[in-house]
Structures are given as C-alpha cells and as structure tokens.
Amino acid sequence: MCNRYRVSAKGREIARRYGVEIEETEEFSLPPPEVFPKRPGWVVREDGGARRLEAMAWGFPPPPQGRAPVTNVRNLASPFWRSALARPEARCLVPVTDFCEWGGEAGSKVARWFSVPTQPIFSFAGIWRQTPAGPVYAFLTCEPNALVAPIHPKAMPVILHPEDEARWLQGGMADALALAAPFPSQLMVLAP
C-alpha cells in the first residue's frame, strides 16, 4: 500500500491551489518533498469555515498490539475509523504530486510512480487528529483501478476529483463513504 508519495510544489502553490488565505509575508516551514511514514507532510483542513494548510506527521499512533503507525485507512467499517469519518472536522485533504507503489518480486522491488497529469497537485482523502505528540494524519485506500492493480493488486489511495474536495471536507458520512472509490485509471499515468 502507498507508504511513499511526493509533494514537489511549494507551500504558496499549495495554498493557492486549495484557496488557503495566507499573509504575503507568511513563511512556510516546508516538509521534505518526498513523504514517508512518521515524517511531516502537508494537510489542508477546514477550521471555522476557512481552509488551513498545516504540516502534520503521517501516521496515527499504532494500536496496542501494533508497532508501526497507521498510515492508510482501509477498513471503513471499523469503529475507530467510522468515528473520524462521521465528523467532517476530522477530515482533511492530503496534497500530492505523485505517489509510489512497489512492483516486482520480493528482493527486487522497483518504485513505480503514479500521477494525474491534468492536476499538478491532487488530493488524497485524509483524516487527522490531535495527539499528545502533535497532529497526525492518514488517508483512505480503496480497491485499485486498472492502472494500479498490476503493480499493487490490494489497494490504492482514494484520490478526490477537485469538485469533490469540498464534499469530502463538509459532507455527511454517506458522502464521505461514497467518495472512497478508485480514481478513473484513464485520468492517471504511470511513470516509465
């Protein structure tokens, strides 16, 4: 499952893309352009009717029996995730320029990068929460589309169409669950 993605756009580009109002003199402490679990990544969330751009750590704290942070949300029926999905204020957009899935056989895996050419910055459907260590996020996954499935047959990130981003951030539970679907493969490309 996707545990590596990139955001090669700068903070101001991302703010413009998502309609985040920033001061002209505002400086951004930039997360690295390549994001891995436990490291900071950009997140767009709504707060009091306005969008905010923030850096958060990627991965919810693991459950008591787990060791690694939970970076991908797949079991939407789980009470843990349903409680977050039911609250629009816990949803966020995760800006992405391309994401990686690993292809090949064990021992000779190759990073394969996917992007959406008509959207230089696109969004994963994410959720976030505050923890004692600071804010964290994860994003939803779903069945893979025809482009991703040959590389990673189990899942792919939930990519939102731009016109569905506000619905993800503000809609009810039924809206949120309806958006957890594979992005059309014909709108994506796999880097050679």
Instruction: Round to whole Å and give the CA distance between 44 and 155.
Output: 23
Whole-number Å distance between alpha carbons of 159 and 30: 23
User: Who has greater pLDDT, 107 or 139?
Assistant: 139
pLDDT at 104: 76
CATH number of 5-97+117-141+156-186: 3.90.1680.20
The answer to whether the pTM exceeds 0.85 is yes
Amino acid identity of 63?
P
Residues 59, 41: Cα–Cα separation, whole Å: 10
Cβ neighbours around 151 below 10 Å, total: 17
Residue 146 has pLDDT above 90, yes or no: yes
* Least confident piece of the model among 19-23, 33-37, 131-135: 19-23
**pLDDT tens string 149-176:** 999 999 999 999 999 999 999 999 999 9
Under DSSP, is residue 157 helix (H, G, I), strand (E, B) or coil?
A: strand
Give domain limits for the chain: 5-97+117-141+156-186
What does the DSSP 8-state code read for residue 60? B
Going by C-alpha positions, the residue among 123, 124, 128, 125 that lies closest to residue 47 is 128
pLDDT tens digits, 22-66: 765 455 566 778 999 999 999 999 998 899 999 999 999 987 777
52 vs 45: CA distance, rounded Å = 5
What is the strand order of the sheet 189-190 is part of? 34-35, 5-6, 98-103, 110-115, 189-190
Residues 132-140, mean pLDDT to the nearest whole number: 96
Q: How many CB atoms neighbour CB 42 within 10 A?
A: 25
